[in-house]
A and B are shown apart, each in its own frame.
Chain A
């Protein structure tokens, strides 16, 4: 992972925060357990809620960044300078993802994205905007917890935190203000796209879990694919 000087402290702080706030695995109550169905539904609903919240937040933030970022026609080439998790995936590959991989990709993506979001420490930003960002981060944290819950219910291990993250790093070239704004732009874009993708991911999982039969048989089925 290519760490830039400006982001370094942010990343460190972010990693610490992620590890500290690692969502507690909900205690699995095997007796009378309705299965992962309801929590998948809840996760799906959360993605919709977040997507709605993001629309407002992104509009405000892009206005804060100013032109050309807030222009509707703004269509920059993606240089790939940012290290964001990409939602884009080959259609056939996406279709054939097994549930564990599907959930893991979602979990890892939102972990990274939350990390980056927390790094959006714009001193110049209005207090209102900072509040909205903080609120969104909290909601995103909730989504991560929800995904963790589903993975636990299905018996999948939570992905370990970023392996390549070590405290020492080589300071990269200074990030210009414009490039930093570009990174912010792509962060919001990628976040929005991930939320759209997650809605589809969780809908697919929901369909697989239906119909929710007796709790015990559901668990057997859940491990079958």
Chain B
């Protein structure tokens, strides 16, 4: 029994709803982005509101206690990382935030750590950097490279965002390279630079595919092979020398061998039967420093197969049962003197009184003569 609501009433109601909806969800002015330093104090005014205006503050939708307020301003002391968030102030009883602040708590950058290395000599070198401590806010880095007075381009690495590459145009230069980096964020700025000669930063990547294998019939040998690192562009003209280290797992002391060429080496003084760990490092023959150690290879030298008496003793039963004058005792039967004496054939010398051990030895000797 609905009373037909007049058309005008409907329209007003719809309009009111639309206005309220619009007020709640209308695009606000974009929140003001603010960066503040960790540990500092900050006072957030509620936009243009009077100091004595009645407002409530919310952070990420949660009300904040009024004791943080200084009039209409929000006071945050001793900022912590957890204080980061979207702060909004509302007139009391209003859905509509008067002002919003997106607060980021962070730190100004410390002096960056910059290092350069040439693992692709003579093609070029790369420089990489990082900050010794996090800033918790976005940072931008700017790298410049100089060779004497000539500016060189440092191309960004496609995969790593804290690395860039410089190509050598001239080799054997007496002029040093200078690479500078500056880092800045909303709270501060820092920079550093390094200077170096072409030769001092050469450090190849470790050798690849280090494989160690036992050598058959040689219980003290291990054969080690490896490959020059794939990043080294020209091993023919710029040969590498290698450093090999090895030790059995049970010992701490490494043995070292330096090799001027070739990518194989045979260890000849391995402890028999012990598992070994082997690593190889590389260096340009003449300049630079040693690479890091390669991934370790493990190997145990060849050992002779141990002989199992029981399996050997049982075999002749099936193959040559007639010629054997002695019945080869099974493991359970070994200790039974009665069994020994029951064997048929010209086994007269083997009487009951033969000690078991002697009979066993004789059985093993006979049995092994059939196996060989």
A residues contacting B by CB (< 8 A) are 48, 51, 73, 75, 77-78, 86-91, 94-95, 186, 189-190, 193-194, 196-197, 199-200, 203-204, 207
Give the residues in chain A near B169, CB-CB below 8 Å: 90-91
Question: Complex formed: what's the CA distance from A91 to B173 in Å?
Answer: 11
Name the residue of chain B whose CB is nearest to the CB of A195.
Answer: B286
Is B285 at the interface (CB under 8 A from chain A)?
yes
Is B271 at the interface (CB under 8 A from chain A)?
no
Q: Are A94 and B171 in contact, with the CB atoms below 8 A?
A: yes
Extra contacts, 9 of them, besides A196-B172, A197-B171, A203-B238 (Cβ < 8 A), are A88-B171, A88-B175, A91-B171, A94-B172, A189-B174, A190-B174, A193-B172, A199-B287, A200-B172
Is B318 at the interface (CB under 8 A from chain A)?
no
Question: Complex formed: what's the CA distance from A186 to B286 in Å?
Answer: 21
Name the residue of chain A whose CB is nearest to the CB of B123.
Answer: A91
Question: Complex formed: what's the CA distance from A194 to B173 in Å?
Answer: 9
Interface residues of B in 191-205 (CB under 8 A from A): 195, 199
Interface string of B236-259 (1 = CB under 8 A from A): 111100000000000000000000
Q: How far is the CB of A213 from chain B (nearest CB, A)?
A: 19
Is B168 at the interface (CB under 8 A from chain A)?
yes
Give the residues in chain A near B148, CB-CB below 8 Å: 77-78
- The list of the 9 closest CB pairs from A to B, nearest first, reads A87-B172, A197-B172, A199-B286, A88-B173, A189-B174, A75-B176, A88-B170, A193-B174, A88-B172
Given A91-B168, A199-B285, the answer on whether A77 and B174 have CB atoms closer than 8 Å is no
Is B110 at the interface (CB under 8 A from chain A)?
no
Q: Are A203 and B239 in contact, with the CB atoms below 8 A?
A: yes
Point out the residue from A77, A78, A95, A186 that lies within 8 Å of B237, measured CB to CB: A95
Q: How far is the CB of A183 from chain B (nearest CB, A)?
A: 13
Q: Are A207 and B237 in contact, with the CB atoms below 8 A?
A: yes
Given A48-B286, A75-B195, A196-B199, the answer on whether A203 and B237 have CB atoms closer than 8 Å is yes
Point out the residue from B170, B176, B237, B286 that lies within 8 Å of A90, measured CB to CB: B170
Question: Complex formed: what's the CA distance from A77 to B176 in Å?
Answer: 9
Question: Complex formed: what's the CA distance from A160 to B239 in Å?
Answer: 33
Sampled A-B contacts (23; CB under 8 Å): A51-B286, A78-B148, A78-B175, A87-B172, A87-B173, A88-B171, A88-B172, A88-B173, A89-B171, A90-B169, A90-B170, A91-B170, A94-B172, A95-B237, A190-B174, A193-B172, A194-B172, A197-B171, A199-B286, A200-B238, A203-B239, A203-B285, A204-B237
Q: Interface of chain A, helix or strand or loop or mixed?
A: helix
Question: Complex formed: what's the CA distance from A88 to B197 in Å?
Answer: 12
Q: Are B236 and A207 in contact, with the CB atoms below 8 A?
A: yes
Q: Are A89 and B237 in contact, with the CB atoms below 8 A?
A: no
Interface residues of B in 160-181 (CB under 8 A from A): 168-176, 178
Interface residues of B in 2-48 (CB under 8 A from A): none
Interface string of B216-245 (1 = CB under 8 A from A): 000000000000000000001111000000
Q: How far is the CB of A69 from chain B (nearest CB, A)?
A: 14
Most buried by B among A87, A186, A200: A200
Q: Are B149 and A193 in contact, with the CB atoms below 8 A?
A: no
Is B122 at the interface (CB under 8 A from chain A)?
yes
Given A75-B195, A207-B237, the answer on whether A91 and B174 have CB atoms closer than 8 Å is no
Give the residues in chain A near B149, CB-CB below 8 Å: 77
Question: Complex formed: what's the CA distance from A48 to B241 in Å?
Answer: 14
Name the residue of chain B whose CB is nearest to the CB of A88.
Answer: B173
Q: How far is the CB of B20 from chain A (nearest CB, A)?
A: 70
Q: How far is the CB of B123 from chain A (nearest CB, A)?
A: 8
Q: Are A196 and B239 in contact, with the CB atoms below 8 A?
A: no
Q: Are B176 and A186 in contact, with the CB atoms below 8 A?
A: no
Q: How far is the CB of B53 from chain A (nearest CB, A)?
A: 60
Point out the residue from B168, B170, B178, B286 that lies within 8 Å of A200, measured CB to CB: B286
Question: Complex formed: what's the CA distance from A207 to B236 in Å?
Answer: 7
Question: Complex formed: what's the CA distance from A127 to B285 in Å?
Answer: 34
Question: Complex formed: what's the CA distance from A88 to B122 in Å?
Answer: 13
Q: How far is the CB of B320 from chain A (nearest CB, A)?
A: 59
Q: Are B174 and A88 in contact, with the CB atoms below 8 A?
A: yes
Name the residue of chain A whose CB is nearest to the CB of B199.
Answer: A196
Question: Complex formed: what's the CA distance from A190 to B172 in Å?
Answer: 9
Point out the residue from B178, B236, B286 that lies within 8 Å of A196, measured CB to CB: B286
Point out the residue from B170, B175, B199, B239 that lies within 8 Å of A89, measured CB to CB: B170
Q: How far is the CB of B330 from chain A (nearest CB, A)?
A: 64
Give the residues in chain A near B171, CB-CB below 8 Å: 88-91, 94, 197
